[in-house]
Amino acid sequence: MRDPFKFSILHLSDVHATAGELLYGQVDGLARLRQVGDYVVDAGVTPEAVVVTGDLVQRGHWAAYDRVDEALRELGERVNAPVFTVLGNHDSPAQARRLSGHTDGHYRVVTVGALRLVLLDSSSGILDAAQRAWLSETLAEPFGMGTVVALHHAPVPSPLPTLSKIGLRDPQLFADALATSDTRLILAGHYHHPMNALFAGIPVAVGPSLAYHQVMNAGPSTVSGHDLAMFSLVQVTADQVSCAPISLQAAHPLFSTAVSSLTSTTTR
């Protein structure tokens, strides 16, 4: 039985699925979506929702949307949770209307249990005036345990110098739209590395990428994508939020032991 006072979200981002050839000759975004389902089921995780923060397909690979939609539907069925998506800068707002939940537009609000999810469209790199006005109106009244806002472009800069200027443009306008709201957490992607921050006093969890991981030591003027697929597990309770990045690549364990044998004072 699920705990009604603990809300778990599988946070995926930057799938970059392709139609035909694999991304960089080896990255299969659709297969990695299936791997997430395998991992979560094997781990016994029971999320209340799956949120995917953009770049669902690689730019120009619009034919992949149908297969992405199918893969996300299968993922939702495997983990027994609804799946919600937002668009990123690689996505096509016109072509993405084929996706579930996007037929009538690319920003919306949904509720799952006691949590409100606001899904925004930053595919252009900015939130326009109409969307910000809608956001302020939507958040005018509090809801249940509060609100989680999801968009592709993080409203805070990456600490990696080469990525520090590609976040959401005009973030102060976003902050103004969130002012006095019950927003508990902002979920974002785009940077291809996990990051936590505060924005206008609100926690921000930037999810890693399922496609590739950006590293810091590539040089001061170089970006380097490494073949490391990751996602995040987010939990929201009445008074806490937490976020744990998880790698799909398995490492050899140093030890394995029953959870019941561990205590807060046990170290290894």
Q: Is residue 135 part of a domain?
A: yes
Task: Please tell me the total count of domains within the chain.
Answer: 1
Q: Is residue 268 part of a domain?
A: no
Q: How many Å apart are CA 229 and CA 15, to the nearest integer?
A: 9
The residue whose two tokens read 């744990």 is: 244
Total Cβ atoms within 10 A of residue 206:
28
Instruction: Name the strand (E) or helix (H) holding 33.
Output: helix 29-43
Q: Is residue 121 part of a domain?
A: yes
Q: Where are any strands of DSSP class E within the chain? A: 6-12, 49-53, 83-86, 108-112, 115-119, 146-153, 183-189, 195-199, 202-206, 213-214, 225-226, 230-237, 241-247
Question: What is the model's pLDDT at position 267?
Answer: 47
Contact residues for 128 (Cβ-Cβ < 8 A; gap 6+): none
CA angle in degrees (0–180, nearest 5) for 27-46-39: 30
Report the length, in residues, of the chain: 268
24: containing domain: 6-261
Q: Is residue 18 part of a domain?
A: yes
Q: Is residue 267 part of a domain?
A: no
Where the chain has pLDDT below 50, the residues are 264, 266-268
Question: What is the model's pLDDT at position 8?
Answer: 97
Instruction: Indicate the residue type of 25.
Output: G
pLDDT tens readout for residues 160-183: 988 999 999 999 999 999 999 999
Give the side-chain half-sphere CA count within 13 A for 216: 8
Q: Is residue 1 part of a domain?
A: no
Q: How many Å apart are CA 17 and CA 28, to the nearest integer?
A: 7
CATH number for the domain spanning 152: value is: 3.60.21.10
Instruction: Name residue 109's beta-bridge partners.
Output: 118
Q: Is residue 153 part of a domain?
A: yes
Question: What is the model's pLDDT at position 140?
Answer: 97
Q: Do the strands 49-53 and 83-86 form a parallel or antiparallel pair, or are they unpaired?
A: parallel
pLDDT tens readout for residues 30-84: 999 999 999 999 999 999 999 999 999 999 999 999 999 999 999 999 999 999 9
Q: Is residue 173 part of a domain?
A: yes
- Model pTM score: 0.93
